[in-house]
Structure 1
Amino acid sequence: MLLTAGCAWIPPGGKQAEFMPVPDMAHGLSEARETEPLTPRRAWPEDRWWRQFDSPELNRLMAVALKDNPGLKAAAARLRQTQAMARVEGARLLPFLDADVAFANERISENGVFAALNREEAAGANIIFASINPVSLRYEFDFWGKNRAALEAALGEAEATAAEQAEVRLQLTTAIARACFRGAALRRQLDLAREMVELRHELIELADTRFESGITSARSVKRANIALETAQKREAGTEDQLDVQRNLLARLMGTGPDETRHLFANPVTIPERIPLPAQLPIGLLAHRPDLAAALHRTEAAAHRVKEAKARFLPTVDLTAFVGVNALRLTTKGASSLANVLFSGSSFAYGIAPGLRLPWFEGGRLRGELSAQRAEHDGAVELYNDTLVQAIQEVADSLSSWRETRNILEAHRRLLVSQREDLDLAQTRLQAGLDDRRTVLRSRHAVLNQEYVLKSLETNQLVAMTDLIEALGGGYTNNADIARPQSIAD
């Protein structure tokens, strides 16, 4: 029968999707190491990478968010669900043992068929049945690996969900870091904006005095008022952006806005040197959670293809039971059954091997196999797309780190020159060569450049956070996925 069945015909698949080769970016890495203070390291970033910024506020925000963020809790729930489903699939490889007890008491009608055939014994009598099977066994022999493939697919889904949870954690922590960096800079900028408003008030007073003395025209007073309004507008805008960052942090932490009202009391330290992994982009395959998730999805899809192909082959199973059972036709009630149920003559057992051959199912099996093959190809292409995106993000973040650092260093030199100009104006004021307006304007220029400096420092911190996120943020995949290989055919 096995030879003649050959079971249902398995259709050949088309050209299978292939994993793309990992792009090379050795030139970009060497360029970054030559021009930037980047220290190569085999394992970077570390798991709790935010500690390198030496910010107690940032550490506290991370601790609260990792504990209370609803999105992270939802990801953990999804992981528990997929792990439970893997246990369900794993149970198919084991025998099912259970016990059953049955009891039935049926009275025969005095006007029914049985009574008509045997009125003296059957009319009005009871049919009493009892069965006790302390051990019942059901087992499916997995000769073709169908159940094993289902288990491997479920385990792959669980691994993918675990990687997705790590991706949610990475996105959460980097979002908190960016908001914290921007908020800290805005808090310093707000102080600078308020100081610039005070300077503008002093310049208005000087302009009014000079106008009343007839030294200048009303136009100078008007210009001073316009400059004051501009400074006040900047102050209000900065305060509004600061509130936005505080509210964003409250949402990311899973708390209300009152919890973040008094944030940003302490500055954030910018690390002078940052490390890089020793190897890229091969290292991304083990340290990018989104890449790991995509790869585990392809592995799970490949096992689903194997499971779908195994459905074309025979299913062999075994059922067995051991117990006692008895049936009586009596008018004396259940007591007559109890006398014989537990006697040796009521002992019963059964063994029933089974074989099912899928000769014809209307195309259902071929449709399922085609769908699983398509799902596998889609998963492979999604992995390829994720890989290309990962390489782009690493390249962009390296470039952004390099350029923001260059801009920041140039602006610091500009600020030094601006402060030297302020010192010169103060010296000339003491010598009687300039008036107070020149000093105030030079002081305002310094404050304005310090205001811009905070934005540039934030850009560098954000660029570093982007690089950390692009490199996986400390995620580690224990699987050997340096070069993915398809297991579907």
Structure 2
Amino acid sequence: MRLLLTLPLLGCLTACSLTPTLQRPAAPVPLSFPMTATTQASTLPASALGWRAMFGDPRLQRLIELSLANNRDLRLATLNVEAAQAQANIPRAARLPAVGLDGMHTRERALSTDTNGQTRREVSQQTGVNVALSAFELDLFGRVRALSDAAFARYLASEQGRDAAQIALVGAVAEAYFTQRLADEQLQLTERTLADWQQSLELARLLKQADQNSSLDVAQAEGQVALAEADLEARRRARAQADNALQLLVGSELPGDLPPALPLERQPSIARLPAGLPADLLLSRPDLRQAEQMLVAANADIGAARAAFFPQISLTASFGYASTSLGGLFDTARQVWRFAPQISQPLFHGGRLRAELRLAEVRKSEAVAQYERAIQTAFREVADALAGTATFDRQIEAQLRAVTAAERRLSLSDLRYRAGVDGRLELLDAQRQLQAARQALLELRRAEIANRVALYKSLGGGLHERDRAEIAAVTTAQ
């Protein structure tokens, strides 16, 4: 009995660890981002800014809220976390002894032969109850602990993967929404342009009836209207596809009570995130923390593979009572016990253990390379977004001047055409130039907003729901 009481203490012995000390590689990127722009810095890092503060459009906020509740990819990522947590508990449980209570009762009739050679039937019974410890491994070389540490690191990696999936989802919904806004505004612009060109066609036909122009002018106007009608169908198709993409991300049919959409030029946004941020800020990104935890798991696997070369000591023991009658089962004279320690030392496995160790070392090297690649990718994403921040404002300003100039040219061309100074070709060219300039301006506005979304996402933003009031309260408290 005293021996069984000491068994749990044996499992608590400090095991020597064969897991190598993890040396995290230095970040293979510059110490700071390129100084591509000078902008007003936010008092909080992007990872602490809630998506309600980043995206002030109430319609977009509602869509993000719906996607977080219904998106299937995010749901799968959450289920993966739960599965990894359950799987991590399996090797952790192996570090503790498994104790079971067994009860048994047998009754049998057998034939026996006495000394006189006569056969008799005898009925016997046996009743027993015992507490058993089954094959508990004393983790003297840290094999079980290394397996548990590896499983726990993979669980933490799955948590970070879920957070990375949420950031990606918030960014994808925002990008899909602004793509839908662009398609809708381009459709409206095409409809207005078509209406204007149809009026111009009617004017050309009236002038032809009055013998003030030729059939060539009418044909040119008809061709321009036909091109606008074809462009209108393309814009309708783009709008339908943008709706489908957004609905897929949201994960359900878009409700009819959504707030009205804001045009691209009136989209509210926080102050732009600053350039020149230190590169170590990237380490707050969930995908980088996920890669780091996978590196920890691969390092622990090496410890488990090393420990497999050493003896494995396991204990099997039981204590209980056995009796031929139920009434005397718990009599002290009926006590029984069993103690069976076992040691197993690998001798020859055909090189399997060395191959497993080599495989663990190679997988750690792969994890290091994946970790470094993740850092480089994240650095490039931030640097690209900062480069866009430095140039989009000036590009949009220049494009606005181009739109203004095209509007002025069209107005003058229309007056000259009506006065008979210029021909129809000059007017048609002015109309096409204005249409192209306006479409390009819409594309630029959408690209500039998408660049802000990309910077916010690349710096780890999108995990929190804080609105502007909550951000202000946190900033004041600091």
Tell whether the structures are fold-level matches, with TM greater than 0.5: yes
> Larger deviation: 19-28 or 390-399?
19-28
Query: C-alpha deviations, 1:40-90, integer Å up to 9, x for none?
Result: 555114453354231111111111111111111111111111111111111
Shift of 1:457: 0.4
State yes or no: 1:249 paired with 2:246.
yes
The match for 1:168 is: 165
The match for 2:281 is: 283
Question: Does the aligned pair in 1 maintain the 2:403–2:438 contact within 8 Å?
Answer: yes
The match for 1:31 is: 36
Query: C-alpha deviations, 1:387-443, integer Å up to 9, x for none?
Result: 2222222222222333333321211222333455567789x79x98999x9999978
The match for 1:183 is: 180
State yes or no: 1:107 paired with 2:109.
yes
Match for 1:266 among 262, 265, 275?
262
Structure 1 Cα separation of the partners of residues 406 and 437 of structure 2: 8
Query: C-alpha deviations, 1:284-307, integer Å up to 9, x for none?
Result: 1222x2222111111101001101
Question: Does the aligned pair in 2 maintain the 1:40–1:278 contact within 8 Å?
Answer: no
The match for 1:7 is: none
The match for 1:65 is: 67
Structure 2 Cα separation of the partners of residues 88 and 156 of structure 1: 13
The change in CA–CA distance for 1:474 and 1:198 in structure 2 (over 3 A counts) is closer
Question: Does the aligned pair in 1 maintain the 2:33–2:278 contact within 8 Å?
Answer: no
Match for 1:357 among 345, 362, 366?
345
The change in CA–CA distance for 1:27 and 1:394 in structure 2 (over 3 A counts) is closer
State yes or no: 1:317 paired with 2:322.
no
State yes or no: 1:212 paired with 2:209.
yes
1:282 maps to amino acid: D
Q: What is the SS of the residue equivalent to 1:381?
A: helix
State yes or no: 1:56 paired with 2:53.
no
Structure 1 Cα separation of the partners of residues 236 and 257 of structure 2: 12
The match for 2:155 is: 158
State yes or no: 1:304 paired with 2:292.
no
Structure 2 Cα separation of the partners of residues 233 and 282 of structure 1: 51
The match for 1:80 is: 82
The change in CA–CA distance for 1:266 and 1:18 in structure 2 (over 3 A counts) is closer
1:216 maps to amino acid: N
Shift of 1:320: 3.0
Question: Does the aligned pair in 1 maintain the 2:275–2:386 contact within 8 Å?
Answer: no
2:67 maps to amino acid: A
Structure 2 Cα separation of the partners of residues 87 and 290 of structure 1: 23
The change in CA–CA distance for 1:286 and 1:311 in structure 2 (over 3 A counts) is same
Match for 2:46 among 16, 33, 44?
44
1:355 maps to amino acid: I
Structure 2 Cα separation of the partners of residues 207 and 85 of structure 1: 76
Q: Within 5 Å, which residues of 2 pair with 1:318-357? A: 318-327=315-324, 337-357=325-345
1:388 maps to amino acid: Q
Question: Does the aligned pair in 1 maintain the 2:57–2:268 contact within 8 Å?
Answer: no
Shift of 1:216: 0.8
The match for 2:4 is: none
Shift of 1:153: 0.4
Q: What is the SS of the residue equivalent to 1:67?
A: helix
Structure 2 Cα separation of the partners of residues 48 and 358 of structure 1: 56
Unaligned runs of 5+ in 2: 1-19, 465-478
Structure 2 Cα separation of the partners of residues 424 and 219 of structure 1: 22
The change in CA–CA distance for 1:117 and 1:91 in structure 2 (over 3 A counts) is farther
Question: Does the aligned pair in 2 maintain the 1:316–1:356 contact within 8 Å?
Answer: yes
Question: Does the aligned pair in 1 maintain the 2:201–2:221 contact within 8 Å?
Answer: yes
Question: Does the aligned pair in 2 maintain the 1:152–1:303 contact within 8 Å?
Answer: yes
Question: Does the aligned pair in 1 maintain the 2:59–2:259 contact within 8 Å?
Answer: yes
Identity %: 24
The change in CA–CA distance for 1:307 and 1:293 in structure 2 (over 3 A counts) is same
The match for 1:197 is: 194
State yes or no: 1:97 paired with 2:85.
no
Structure 1 Cα separation of the partners of residues 268 and 31 of structure 2: 27
Query: C-alpha deviations, 1:156-211, integer Å up to 9, x for none?
Result: 10111112212222222211111100111221221111111111111011101111
State yes or no: 1:22 paired with 2:28.
yes
The match for 2:438 is: 450
> Larger deviation: 211-220 or 318-327?
318-327
The change in CA–CA distance for 1:262 and 1:49 in structure 2 (over 3 A counts) is closer
The match for 1:334 is: none
Structure 2 Cα separation of the partners of residues 98 and 383 of structure 1: 44
Shift of 1:137: 6.4
Structure 1 Cα separation of the partners of residues 374 and 444 of structure 2: 30
TM-score (norm 2): 0.82
> Larger deviation: 345-354 or 246-255?
345-354
Structure 2 Cα separation of the partners of residues 130 and 272 of structure 1: 77
Aligned residues: 441
The change in CA–CA distance for 1:263 and 1:251 in structure 2 (over 3 A counts) is farther
Shift of 1:444: 7.4
Query: C-alpha deviations, 1:292-337, integer Å up to 9, x for none?
Result: 211111110100110111122222333332321125xxxxxxxxx2
2:263 maps to amino acid: P
